[in-house]
A and B are shown apart, each in its own frame.
Chain A
């Protein structure tokens, strides 16, 4: 713990030029907003791609107006070819997992609020921080460039299984340059997140102000800290794996290609590589990645719910330890993605049990969140609605994990829409709800304006009901044996399921359109939204609400806050109401103490 008055953090002068202020900024708040803007663009792109895919799945021969502009060969006359479907699917998954679910809840909100919540002026390595964003931004451009370069993006899915990812364009469109661009993009993304994680960890450990012990950190700060520990180890594995893929393409190596593979009657010029090696490397990153996407959400919704319940969670420590347990276990479960991959069947059992065990900390988190509502004075607003929606969605997606954790059941459900429903609900929609909750909650602090509450509620209702309408039927389709990653369902077996796909498509279009309400609210409120009544419109306790709105360049206006309280002192009687802020020296008694 450091007293900042004694230990100067990275003091850098306020920028004066436009470029230093808004483009190559060293300010963690600007970088946070840049990450948010990138995630927003990525989310809209990913969503539009999913619309195209859903329309194609429901009405296979339908011409989608304008689609031919994206690719003349991929969508002649607007009708999607099977390979273009797979290319869009790969881009949808990659964009969403990396550039939205990792970028927004972790890099965007974490950048903006972690230093403020620990009382720091900035992160310890502002240049690394700036580099982290611009490397990530470059990664996004490299990925998107595959739409216009070569024969389009890779069609191998966001998991990019070997050896399809390493044999080159002979395996199909986008498998040459498309894969190289994908691997370069994700490799760069990893560099960005490694730099970010390093900053997050050092900020949390070294820049806490006087009085801010580890247990006084808000749950959000804990969530970002735990996530950055995962990021530092998980991205460090994926980055070299991406380099190896590129080497297989450009340097004639065979890390992921076995000997004697025959494509188009030609024996491939590779030998000695391992197909399963890629899966091990990828999922060693891939499963922690699921928690990198969701743990910040767990922190964010807990933080928001506490503020709106006007009482702390039943146990602060239990939530922290449970999030920590998720992080540790996330490395021991990754093999459940590989039950039927051909790895040793005993390994499947070894990976199954930690997977089942991971339901325990997840259950503890949900139980603590839900039972903390007991006896609350719950305020309903857009932020709290999305937080409660998060819990509902996390449970709905989480219970399907009971099935997929078991190798014997995975025989039936692997590679079906059941899996697609599971991960979309538990890490996709739930994490998105965390992002929305965070946006409605922190918008006033980030921009100095309030978001429109009515539009926020419209957005919530359409998203909540819509998400269930889309992703619950995915589970039913999977149970019936509907295979994923098919561009059309041509056979007799899958034909009867097409009406379900049409229902899902309509729900996806409506729910997607509801996101435009959010977009409008975001942009309109940014410029013309109501001014917040004061610096702390939600009557919250943590340090970000002690700052001016929006916070000045050095966050606390040249002062160094001192922390006097645990993060969530609600249900007390103080001079300001039923709460006392962390930085307030006022001594209050909690109800327990009064008794």
Chain B
């Protein structure tokens, strides 16, 4: 029984590692300027976690194989290094390993969160509400019009509660249900929640950030590949959560300009 158990542990450990080594299920290709560092960090962590996992399971299995039911005459023995050796090993090997991961990982985090967007980053406001995203571009004046919560109306499609009658800034604002951006252009995303908590997750863009009702947060990124990608909500927001999504269209500058004109005409 003990030997069979030991073999089972090893078989399970190897089978668990195979999909990782074969890259059977992996994140979609990165399309951002900052994502490379995150992916690199992920691979390094995978190597260290994988080795720790396999080593621990193998040693466990080996000891179970070797030291079960040894017979009545067997004498117990103590591991030669004692606990002190293991503690030192844990602190030196695992401690330094994970600390190094943490320190290197700061750079990947800093790229996204600790550096301000450049001055010419394009501002786009995204508003999350049960169960849709809406996007707002400031228009030719470069200024977002003020929002008025009491004027928000799904029926009249005033999703942001704009008041163009009295507010000049809001007259040229462009509101869309999909997010179009030019490729290789830094985007400054201003995130606002209308009602409860939501999140903005684009796998390919290596971006995930919660919306905080009552507190507008912002994010900046640059997409490097033209294409259509899914934006999904990852913060449980109610019964329609599973279906709360929008699309991110990364376009050439020319296509983007054309899209803007078309959207402006539709407002």
Contact = CB atoms under 8 A, between A and B. Distances in A.
Interface of A: 81-83, 86, 155-157, 161-164, 167, 171-173, 175, 257-263, 265, 267-268, 273-276, 309-311, 313-315, 318, 340-342, 345-346, 348-349, 352-353, 356-357, 359-360, 363-364, 366-368, 370-380, 385, 388, 391-392, 395-396, 399-400, 402-403, 405-409, 411-412, 414-416, 457, 464-465, 468, 472, 476-477, 479-481, 483-493, 497, 500, 570-571, 591
Contact of B239 (A155, A257, A396): A155
Contacts of A357: 95, 98-99
Interface string B149-183: 11011110000010000000000000000000000
B242 A481 contact: no
A412 B155 contact: no
Nearest to A414: B208
Given A82-B243, A341-B212, A380-B68, 20 more contacts: A164-B238, A273-B214, A275-B212, A275-B213, A314-B79, A314-B83, A340-B208, A356-B101, A359-B95, A371-B59, A374-B63, A374-B78, A392-B12, A396-B16, A402-B48, A402-B101, A408-B41, A483-B234, A485-B236, A493-B28
B60 A377 contact: no
A375 B76 contact: yes
Interface in B173-203: 193-197, 199, 201, 203
A260 B82 CA distance: 62
B65 to A, nearest CB: 10
Interface string B60-80: 100110011110001111110
5 contacts: A171-B196, A313-B83, A375-B78, A408-B106, A481-B27
A379 B68 CA distance: 6
B117 interface: no
Give the top 4 A-B pairs by smallest Cβ distance, nearest first.
A258-B214, A375-B77, A315-B83, A408-B108
A265 B25 contact: no
B5 A345 contact: no
Given A82-B239, A86-B236, A400-B49, A483 B201 contact: yes
B209 to A, nearest CB: 5
A83 B217 CA distance: 29
A488 B98 CA distance: 36
A276 B206 contact: no
B42 interface: yes
Interface of B: 1-2, 5, 8-9, 12, 16, 19-20, 24-28, 37-38, 41-42, 45-46, 48-50, 52-53, 56-57, 59-60, 63-64, 67-70, 74-79, 81-84, 86-87, 89-91, 94-95, 98-99, 101-102, 105-106, 108-109, 112-114, 129-130, 149-150, 152-155, 161, 193-197, 199, 201, 203, 206-215, 217, 230, 232, 234-243, 245
Given A408-B105, A481-B27, A481-B203, A346 B41 contact: no
A318 B87 contact: yes
Contacts of B67: 309, 373-378
Residue among A171, A409, A465 with the highest chain B CB neighbour number at 10 A: A409
A89 to B, nearest CB: 9
A363 B19 CA distance: 25
B56 A411 contact: no
B195 A415 contact: no
A342 B109 contact: no
A380 B69 contact: yes
B214 A173 contact: no
B52 A476 contact: no
B238 A171 contact: yes
Contacts of A341: 210, 212
A110 B191 CA distance: 48
Contacts of A313: 83
A260 B235 contact: no
Contacts of A315: 82-84
- With a 10 A CB-CB cut-off, give which of B149, B153, B210 has the most chain A CB atoms: B210
B212 A370 contact: no
B64 A402 contact: no
A408 B239 contact: no
A373 B201 contact: no
A412 B38 contact: yes
Given A261-B194, A342-B217, A472 B130 contact: no
A340 B209 contact: yes
Given A392-B60, A485-B236, A371 B86 contact: yes
A484 B235 CA distance: 9
B208 A411 contact: yes
Contacts of A375: 67, 76-79
A376 B150 CA distance: 72
B59 A472 contact: no
A348 B113 contact: yes
B109 to A, nearest CB: 4
Nearest to A366: B56
A402 B51 CA distance: 12
A364 B86 contact: yes
Contacts of A500: 25
A257 B83 CA distance: 51
Contacts of A408: 37-38, 41, 105-106, 108-109, 112
A571 B74 CA distance: 10
Contact of B64 (A157, A314, A388, A483): A388
A315 B199 CA distance: 46
B108 to A, nearest CB: 4
B25 to A, nearest CB: 4
Contacts of A399: 49-50, 52-53
B76 A571 contact: yes
B45 A360 contact: no
A122 to B, nearest CB: 35
Contacts of A310: 76
Contact of B102 (A360, A406, A480): A406
B59 A480 contact: no
Contacts of A311: 76, 78
A103 to B, nearest CB: 25
Nearest to B102: A356
Nearest to A341: B210
A172 B105 CA distance: 39
A395 B67 CA distance: 20
B45 A406 contact: yes
Contacts of A492: 230
A314 B86 contact: yes
A194 to B, nearest CB: 28
Contacts of A273: 214
A425 B9 CA distance: 15
Contacts of A388: 5, 60, 64
A376 B235 CA distance: 49
Contacts of A162: 197
B29 to A, nearest CB: 12
B110 to A, nearest CB: 8
